[in-house]
Amino acid sequence: MLDCTPKEIKERTGGGLINPAKTCQPIGAMYAALGIHKCLPHSHGSQGCCSFHRMHLTRHFRDPVMASTSSFTEGSSVFGGGANLKASIKNVFTMYDPDVIAVHTTCLTETIGDDIPSIIRSAEVPEGKVVIHANTPSYQGSHITGFSNMVKGMVNYFAEATEPIKKEQINVIPGFVNPADMREIKRLLKLIGAKSVMFPDTSGVVDSPMTGEFQMYPEGGTTVAELKDAGNSKLTVALGRFASSDGAEVLAKKCLVPVATLKTPIGIKATDALLMVARRAFAKEIPAEIELERGQLVDIMTDTHFHFHGKKVAIFGDPDIVTGIAEFVLSLGMIPVHVLTGTPGGAIGSAVGSFEEDIQEMLSQAGVKGNVKAGGDLFTFHQWIKNEPVDLIIGNTYGKYIARAEDIPLVRVGFPVLDRSVHSYMPIVGYRGAMRLLEMISNALLDRQDRDAADEDFELVM
C-alpha cells in the first residue's frame, strides 16, 4: 500500500497536491444549502460537478442528497450560462417545487464570469419562492470555504433586523459538521433554556428516518422565517472560524448582531466555552443535567487516562474539526505530533487567521513539538509519519491508506467517512460527543494492544 511514497522528504515546488486533504468549494455550498428547509441546491456548471458532489455527500450520509444542475455544454461555456440557469430555475420550480433554490457556482461559471444576481433577477421566480446564490470558485479555499460562502449567502438574502430591540435568542452557525452534532448543540442550548436559531441545520434532512416514503424535502432544515429572524437575534455564536465566522461577520454588519467566534465544541474545553457564552448571554445557570454529563466525562477521562496518556497521534481533516480534536487530545495528555489540514490557512478575503499559528500556540502551551501545516496534503502527512511514527491517526476515510501502509490504527472523524456507517447519527460535540470520541480513541488503542500482545501478556482486564 502506497509503496511509492518515500520516507525522504524532497521539496516540491510545483504547488500541486498528491492525495489531497481538501476538496472544492461547491460541495460545501451544496451541503450548507441542504440545511435550509425545503431548499434545492443548484449547481451552476457542468453536470459532473453536481454528480460528484451528490455522490460524495450521499456516500457519507447514506441518505438522499437532492440537487440540480445547469447541465453546461460547450455552447453555454462560450456564450454564457444565463439561458441554462433561467431554464433551470423554471424547470426546478415547476417540477420539484422547493421554497428556495440555492445556486452555487463552479470553476467553470466563475471563469466565464456569469453574473448570477442579474440572471436571477431576469428569471421566472414564482410568487413566494426565492432564489439565493453564493459564489463558490473551486480555485479558492476548499469545501469549507464553500460552506462558509453559502452561509454568507443565507445572511445576505434573508437576515433582516426588523425589531427595534434584539430578541432573547442567539444564532448558532454550527459549521461543516454532521447532523448529529447540530442536534447535540441544539439539545444543550435547549437544556439551558437558550432560544436559538441554528443555520444551516441539516438535522432531519440528511439523517431522515425510514418511513417507507421518500420525501424530497424532509422535516429538517432552517426555515426561511427563521433565517429572516436571525437579524433580530442578540448574538451570533460562530462555531469554527473557518466555516462559520465569515457568515457571522456579515450578519454583524448587516443587522448589528454581535459575534462570538468559538471553536467547534469538540472536547471538554471547547464545550465549556460554548456553555459559558450561552450562560452569560441569557444569565441562566447551567442545569444539573449538563453538569452531570460533564462530570461523567471527566470521570472517564481520569479513570482511563492510562489508555491514552503519552500516546502520539497524527490528526488531519477540516481546520475547525482538527482544531477541536487537537485541543481535546491535548487535554487527554496525548501528544499530537502531526497536525494537518488541506484547507489553506486563512481563506481569501476573510479574517479567520492562521491555522498554523493557532495549533502551534496550543502545542507550545502543552510543551509539544509537532509538525503543523495548513494547505497540506496526505502525501506530506504520510511522509511525516514515516519520519516520526505515531500510535494513532485521527482523520477521515482517506487516512485508511496511510493507516494500512504504516500499520497504525485510524479513528474516523470528520468528512468524508465513506467506509463506515452511523457516524453522522452520533455527535462528537458536547460532553457526550467527547465521551464517544474518547471511546473510539481508547478502543482503537486497546484493540491494537490486544492484537499485538503475546499470549502471556494478553489481559482480560485493561
Partner 1 sequence: MAMTEKQLEEILAKYPSKVQKNRKKHILVRDSAAETPQIIEANTRTIPGIITNRGCAYAGCKGVVIGPLKDMVHITHGPVGCAYYTWGTRRNKAKSENPEKNFINYCFTTDMQESDIVFGGEKKLAKVIDDVMAIFSPNAISISATCPVGLIGDDLGAVAKRAEEKYGIQVLSFNCEGYKGVSQSAGHHIANNGLMEHVIGKGDAEEAPAKYAINLLGEYNIGGDGWEVERILKEVGYHIVTIMTGDGTYEDLKNAHVAELNLVQCHRSINYIAEMLEIKYGTPWLKVNFVGVQATCDTLRDIAQYFGDEALIQKTEEVIAKELARIEAKIDQYKKICEGKTAFCFVGGSRGHHFQGLFKELGMETVLAGYEFAHRDDYEGRQVIPDIKLDADTKNIPDLHVEKDPERFRLKLSPERYEELKKKIPLSQYCGMNVEMKDGSVIVDDLNHFETEEFIKILKPDILASGIKDKYVIQKMGLPSKQLHSYDYSGPYAGFNGALNFAEDICMSFTSPTWNFITPPWKNEPLLVGTVTEEEGVA
What is the closest distance, in whole angstroms, from the C-beta atom of residue 283 to partner 1 in the complex? 41
Give the Cα separation of 255 and 275 in Å (integer): 24
> In whole angstroms, what is the distance from residue 63 CA to residue 208 CA?
7
Instruction: Considering the complex, state which of residue 125 and residue 277 has its C-beta at the smaller distance from partner 1.
Output: 125
- Tell me if 14 contacts partner 1 by CB under 8 A: yes
Q: List the 68-69 sheet strands across, edge first.
A: 68-69, 39-44, 100-105, 130-134
Stretch that binds partner 1, among 59-67, 253-261, 316-324, 420-428 (CB under 8 A): 59-67
Instruction: Between 108 and 326, name the residue whose CB sits nearer to partner 1.
Output: 108
Q: Does 257 contact partner 1 by CB under 8 A?
A: no
Is 211 an interacting residue with respect to partner 1 (CB under 8 A)? yes
Q: Compose the 400-439 pattern: x for residues touching partner 1 by CB under 8 A, - for all others.
A: -x--------------------------------------
Q: What ranges in 97-195 are assigned the alpha helix state H?
A: 107-112, 116-121, 143-158, 179-192
Please give the Cα distance from 338 to 322 (Å, whole number): 11
Q: Is the CB of 26 or the CB of 35 nearer to partner 1? A: 26
Q: Is 45 in the site for partner 1 (CB under 8 A)?
A: yes
Beta bridge partners of 43: 69, 104
Q: Determine, following the binding rule CB under 8 A, whether residue 457 of this chain makes contact with partner 1.
A: no
Q: What is the x/- site pattern for partner 1, positions 101-130, by CB under 8 A?
A: -----xxx-xxx------------------
Residue closest to 247 by CA, chosen among 197, 190, 282: 197
Burial class (CB in 10 A: 0-12, 13-18, 19+), 215: exposed
The residue range among 211-219, 235-243, 259-267, 297-305 that interacts with partner 1, by the rule CB under 8 A, is: 211-219
Question: Nearer Cβ to partner 1, position 18 or 426?
Answer: 18
Between CA 432 and CA 443 the distance in angstroms is: 16
Q: How many CB atoms lie within 10 A of CB 344?
A: 20
d(CA 205, CA 419): 21
| Residue among 137 and 336 whose Cβ is closer to partner 1 | 137
The answer to whether 171 and 196 are in contact (CB under 8 A) is yes
Closest of 293, 357, 295, 298 to residue 331, by C-alpha: 298
Contact between 350 and partner 1 by CB under 8 A: the answer reads: no
Among 33, 69, 255, 403, contact with partner 1 (rule: CB under 8 A): 69
Please report, as residue ranges, which positions from 374 to 393 form the binding site for partner 1 (by CB under 8 A).
Answer: 379
Residue nearer to partner 1 on the CB measure, 70 or 171 = 70
CB of 251 to partner 1, least distance (A): 26
Window 284 to 343, contacts with partner 1 (CB under 8 A): 342
